Amino acid sequence: MLLIDINVVRRVMATQDVDFVFRSAKGLSGGILVPWRTDRWKGDLINIGDFSLSSSLVSTDNKWSWGIIGVYGPHRHNDKLLLWEELSSLQNQLSSPWCFLGDFSAVRHPTERKNCKLQTVLMSQFNDWIESLHLRELEIFNRKYTCNNLSASKIDRVLVNNQWANPFSLSSSKLSVRDYFRSLCHFDQLFTSEAYVEI
């Protein structure tokens, strides 16, 4: 993904009022797109990392701001450690509250893998990293596995910081059927039922 056509993003978001930031794919994977509705949000690019894309969003009506980090996790173990290092360094660059969402390419529990080898050391390291940043995972309601082949794993997730709890205490995440916009977050309390952010 070297370029993104604004018209494609408009069709996917079902509105003309859209803007976005993106990180190009490396080869056939790793592309990240963070779009938002311009009638509800003003967005700014904060950082393009090796495995992430950070943006800040400010609502147009009440000027409430938060950070969002789109993630595309690598497959190699050592690169996953670099991803978590990269994400840890971003927490100071973003306004609070903020969330990480996307493909982490890692599981937290044995029940999150089906028909594939468990990597218990990696699982433990991933959980330790989540705990070290005091992150909370939003529940995904409509699919147990987010990568389905002969084997399946829960690799897509939404992780939020502690400041997320008050304004978005009823937040949930629903996985989209479209691979290029996998996570659909619905912020129940702060916004109307039509206020979605797609990643």
Domains of the chain: 6-198 (3.60.10.10)
Residue 170 main-chain phi, psi, to 5 deg: -105, 15
Angstrom distances, CA of residue 81 to CA of 18, 122, 155: 34, 9, 15
DSSP secondary structure, 67-101, as one string: EEEEEE--SSHHHHHHHHHHHHHHTTTSPSSEEEE
The count of other CB atoms within 10 Å of the CB of residue 57 is 20
For 5-27, what is each residue's pLDDT tens digit?
888 888 888 889 999 988 988 77
Cα 152 from Cα 148, distance rounded (Å): 5
pTM here? 0.80
Q: What is the pLDDT of residue 125?
A: 96
User: 196 in helix, strand or coil?
Assistant: strand
Q: Give the pLDDT band of residue 116 (cuts 50, 70, 90).
A: confident
> How confident is the model over 44-68, as a mean pLDDT?
89
Maximum mean pLDDT: which of 8-12, 13-17, 43-47, 136-140: 43-47
Residue 195 CB partners (closer than 8 Å, separation 6+): 40, 186, 187
Residue 68 scores a pLDDT above 50: yes
Average pLDDT, the chain: 80
